Structure 1
Amino acid sequence: MNPTDAATALPEVANAAAHADMSMLGLFLMADWVVKSVMISLVLASLVCWAIIVEKSLLLSRLGREVRKLVGAAAPGSQAAPQAPQGEGLAARVLRAGTREWRDGREDGESRFEYRHRMEHAMRHALSGELRKVEPGLPFLATTGAVAPFIGLFGTVWGIMNSFSNIAQSNDTSLAVVAPGIAEALFATAIGLVAAIPAVMAYNRLLVRLGRLRQDGQSAAADLASSLSRRPPVLAASHANRAAAAE
């Protein structure tokens, strides 16, 4: 390119850069296909994270109500019904598991401690099975929170490399020429942070809530087992009578 053509081209490049669309949509449309792929993947990851956050928050709220019922049933002075409770909630499942062992009664040579431990183990097993339903999806939040900033940074590095390449081709280092390319590159990092920050905060929050529910539920199961172990298994006699009659 001769000096005359370069002098003519430079104002055109500067004018195009000055009128570049700096909105989020404009930055996306101006981006290279690699940077666009990074942006799209981060946006999709963010949408999946928000879906997981909403779903797990609702599930933990429901389980929280069930654990409070369980804690209420284990409270001192509470008359926990010896009949197996109806329903499919966490509290009903845990209480059914405990009353099933309670009705079987103590086996020959079984101490009261072993009897209580058997009931507590059954209730803890039922509790853990329900709480494990919260865990799927949480690793995706942790992974997104850890990886998304680096994926965005990769898009930024790639975009800045393209900007420097354009600077070398235009022989113009003015801010008007450099700004659009750098802006679209930094936009990838911004999207990565937008995806990562809520994911990390939600993961920590959900994990703390899950841990508290598990701790409260296990404490309630221990109290219920201790309370039931002091009661005579009134149905054990009827089981024995039916077994004797069958013989």
Structure 2
Amino acid sequence: MAAAAAVHLLFANNAAATTTAGALPSTLSVGGMFMQADWIVKLVMIGLALASVITWTVFVAKQLQLKRERAGAVEILSVLASARTLGDLPADVSIGELVREAKAELALSVDALDDREGVKERIVSRLDRYEARLARRMTQGITVLGTIGATAPFVGLFGTVWGIMNSFIGIAEMQTTNLAVVAPGIAEALLATGLGLVAAIPAVVIYNHFARQIAAHRALVSDSAAAVLRLVSRDLSRGTLPAPAPAKVA
């Protein structure tokens, strides 16, 4: 009787394993693994998916912004490089905030133009502050990419650790190490790590891409600031500064 019971139990276990193995193709799809995952692992996966959406949204928006601003900066630098004095700058063309900053300072210093070094120092200060404001504006939205790139793998790893921990608990409760029983839980856990990498790798690549583009744009703005300062210096040396408009007090 004991031998017959053992044989019956063995066949039952094999049948259960076969049934589970036959169900693997459907349960190990990405959607199936997500639906069967623990709720904490689901939250991790949803968070990583949202992080990936944010990454690509920032990429599209910032790429359009940088393309537009770079085109404007190249045009402004070309106009400034071809001018000999501030009076040569076309009045009907937007020549950028740098020239407006310089003219605003000249308007405020209209009674102190004899102090050439003081005027140039104040204009340099204004241009530096403008470049700092520009840098802050250009990097808006970029820092989130760095955050996603740095944290997404660890968030995914947390989901994996939690999922594998639940898998081991299930192994202990079912008292079996059959691969067909263990594999779905481990696969669900590893999916979280995979999503973490999917969110992190593009974020890091896009962050570095924008860092290079912003550095190139800041170099253009610095060249334009130097060109404005040269125009002011020439006009101060020649005494040919155009009559500045009254400064507007904000």
| Shared fold per TM-score greater than 0.5 | yes
Please show how residues 3-82 of structure 1 align to structure 2 within 5 Å: 8=12, 11-20=15-24, 21-75=27-81, 81-82=88-89
User: 1:145–1:197: 8 Å Cα contact kept in structure 2?
Assistant: yes
**Larger mean Cα displacement after TM superposition, 155-164 or 206-215:** 206-215
User: 2:146–2:204: 8 Å Cα contact kept in structure 1?
Assistant: yes
Structure 1's unaligned 5+ residue stretches are 240-247
CA distance in 2: counterparts of 1:111 and 1:7, whole angstroms? 101
Aligned length: 234
User: 2:85–2:231: 8 Å Cα contact kept in structure 1?
Assistant: no
Structure 2's unaligned 5+ residue stretches are none
Partner of 2:242: 234
User: 1:117–1:225: 8 Å Cα contact kept in structure 2?
Assistant: no
Shift in CA distance, 26/191, structure 1 to aligned 2, threshold 3 Å: same
Partner of 2:179: 175
1:45-100 CA distances to partner (integer Å, 9 max, x unpaired)? 1111221122111111112112212321332556764465655xxx5222222233
Amino acid corresponding to residue 177 of structure 2 in structure 1:
T
Shift in CA distance, 93/108, structure 1 to aligned 2, threshold 3 Å: closer
CA distance in 2: counterparts of 1:234 and 1:71, whole angstroms? 20
User: 2:159–2:193: 8 Å Cα contact kept in structure 1?
Assistant: yes
CA distance in 2: counterparts of 1:66 and 1:109, whole angstroms? 31
Partner of 1:187: 191
Q: CA RMSD in A?
A: 2.8
1:205-243 CA distances to partner (integer Å, 9 max, x unpaired)? 21222122122212320222112221211316x98xxxx
User: 2:83–2:89: 8 Å Cα contact kept in structure 1?
Assistant: no
Please show how residues 45-194 of structure 1 align to structure 2 within 5 Å: 45-75=51-81, 81-82=88-89, 87=94, 91-102=95-106, 107-108=111-112, 110-194=114-198
Secondary structure at the aligned position of 2:28 is classed as coil
Amino acid corresponding to residue 68 of structure 1 in structure 2:
V
The TM-score normalised by the length of structure 2 is 0.80
**Larger mean Cα displacement after TM superposition, 28-37 or 3-12:** 3-12
Amino acid corresponding to residue 180 of structure 2 in structure 1:
A
Shift in CA distance, 102/230, structure 1 to aligned 2, threshold 3 Å: farther
Give % identity.
35
The TM-score normalised by the length of structure 1 is 0.81
Secondary structure at the aligned position of 1:233 is classed as coil
Partner of 1:210: 214
Amino acid corresponding to residue 101 of structure 1 in structure 2:
E
